[in-house]
Amino acid sequence: MALEQRRVRTLAAIATAFAAPACALAIAPAAAGAKTVWLCQPGQAPNPCSESLRTTYTTSDGVTKDLEVPLARRPRIDCFYVYPTVSDQPTINADLTVDPEQSAIARYQASRFSQRCRVFAPMYRQLTLAGIGGASIPEQAVQLAYGDVRRAWREYWRKHNQGRGVVLIGHSQGTGMLTQLIREKVDRFPKVRRQLVSALLLGGNVTVEKGSDVGGAFRSVPACRRADETACVVAYSTFNQTPPPDAVFGRVSGVLVDLAGRDPAELEVLCTNPPRCVAARRRCRR
């Protein structure tokens, strides 16, 4: 519970940071020649995104069984994953050191995708739990984090993509970073959109115009409506129980919402339902 409360405060602070003016706290500028540090990429060791997927499960009659799930040998698509807020470093921005927190969340969230795709996951100087616990966050700190993600995407696109389809996967702060990346590097470019398999933007309040699949965060990349649809967005937040009216997720007045000058009354938070997509290719939108 304490960790979840910290994450909620984290998201609220990040949302404020995207709109807040810079404060007096000094932030080191991004080095012009900074190199991408990969948490996960094909052929790298260690690689928390491509470790053994061996797991143990319990059947309905209480029998425990082991299951070994193979990694994809020659996957036809890639996945580009940006992890959520996990850094416990005592600074506003994390550095690019791979700490246990990043490795653990990659195993937890991204490794399963290695059954279907090559997983690329960049390190980025994200806003830390300690950094966003303060009164305000300089815009420069947000852009420092985003700059690493953008640089990694450019490197991936230039060196590794080679015309392959790609799935974008983000959660929490990672969704915020990918939302901006899609707006800048995907949404306006038909060629790139054609290679977008899908974007899984979770826990980040992606917006659309009311009654529409586009018009909020993105102009051209729509919400997914069918299981066989591509070049679209899956976005949702999960709750243990019915969310209260003032929930920070699922509402335009919640966290990580970039209105871009729009009237919030014209927008709604996108919510797709993956099980509905899978079941007989039903419509996915809420």
Q: Decide which of 2 and 123 is more confident.
A: 123
Residue 71 has pLDDT above 50, yes or no: yes
Secondary structure class of 121 (helix, strand, coil): strand
Q: What is the pTM of this model?
A: 0.85
User: What's the rounded mean pLDDT across residues 274-279?
Assistant: 67
Residue bearing tokens 């009164």: 135
Supply 172's token pair.
């929490």
- Could you give the CA distance from residue 15 to residue 173 in angstroms, rounded to a whole number? 9
- Could you give the CA distance from residue 179 to residue 175 in angstroms, rounded to a whole number? 6
Q: Is the peptide bond before 245 cis (omega within 30 degrees of 0)?
A: no
Q: Quick: pLDDT tens for 157-167.
A: 999 999 999 99
Q: Decide which of 140 and 226 is more confident.
A: 140
Give the number of C-alpha atoms closer than 13 A to the C-alpha of residue 187, restricted to the C-beta side: 18
- Could you give the CA distance from residue 164 to residue 43 in angstroms, rounded to a whole number? 18
Q: Are 92 and 128 in contact (CB under 8 A)?
A: yes
